[in-house]
Amino acid sequence: MPRGGKKGHKGRGKQFSNPEEIDRQMKAQRELEANAGAEKGSDSDSEEESSSEDESDSRKRSGVEGLIEIENPNRVSQKSKKVAEVDVTAPRELSRREREEIEKQKSKERYMKLHLEGKTDQARADLARLAIIKKQREEAAKKRDELRKEKDAEEAKGKR
C-alpha cells in the first residue's frame, strides 16, 4: 500500500493564484497594518497596558477559544511564582494518583494487620479450615498408633 500525503484528484486541473488577486490581498494587508500602527501611535500613551493585554489575549486564544468563552477548570495555567513567595517548608501537594496509591497501600497494611490478628472473615475461615485439618491429622495419627499397637500385639502373640 503506497504511503504519502493526500494526492490530488486525477484529471483535475491545478489551481494557480491570479497575480492581480495576490497584489490586491497584499495591498489590503499593508493598509490594515498601517491603520493598526496609526491607532497604536495615537493611543499608545494612554493605553499601553491594555494593548499588551489585548495582544496576549489574541495570542492565547486560537481556534474555537477565540469565538467562545471557555472556562475549563482543568486547563488552569500554572502561574509562575517569585522566589520570595515560594515556601520550601510547606508540604508538597500530591497528585490524585499518588494520593490513591498511598491510600491503597495503607488500606492493604491495615487489612494485613487485622488478618494476622484473625479479625477478618478470610482469616476466620482460614483458621477454621486449619482447625479441621489439624483434627483430621490427629485422628489419622491415633489410627496409625492403634494399628501399630495391634500389629505389635499380634506379633507378640505369634512369637509365643
Q: What is the pLDDT of residues 18-64, one digit of tens each?
A: 889 999 999 999 999 989 877 766 655 544 455 555 555 555 566 66
Single out the residue of 100, 101, 120 nearest to residue 110, CA to CA: 120
Summarize the chain as % helix, strand, coil (round to 5). 65, 0, 35
- The pLDDT of residue 104: 97
Secondary structure element (H or E) that encloses residue 36, with its range: helix 19-43
Evaluated on CA atoms 106, 110, 113, 118, the torsion sign reads: negative
For residues 118 and 109, the answer to whether their CB atoms sit within 8 Å is no
- The pLDDT of residue 94: 85
Cell of 3: 504511503
Tell me what percent of the residues of the chain surpass a pLDDT of 90. 38
Cell 489575549, residue located: 57
Residues sharing a CB contact under 8 Å with residue 116, sequence separation 6 or more, in sequence order:
123
CA–CA separation, 4 and 21 (whole Å):
31
- The pLDDT of residue 24: 93
Evaluated on CA atoms 71, 72, 76, 77, the torsion sign reads: negative
Between residues 54 and 100, the one the model is more confident about: 100
- The pLDDT of residue 8: 63
CA–CA separation, 151 and 107 (whole Å):
57
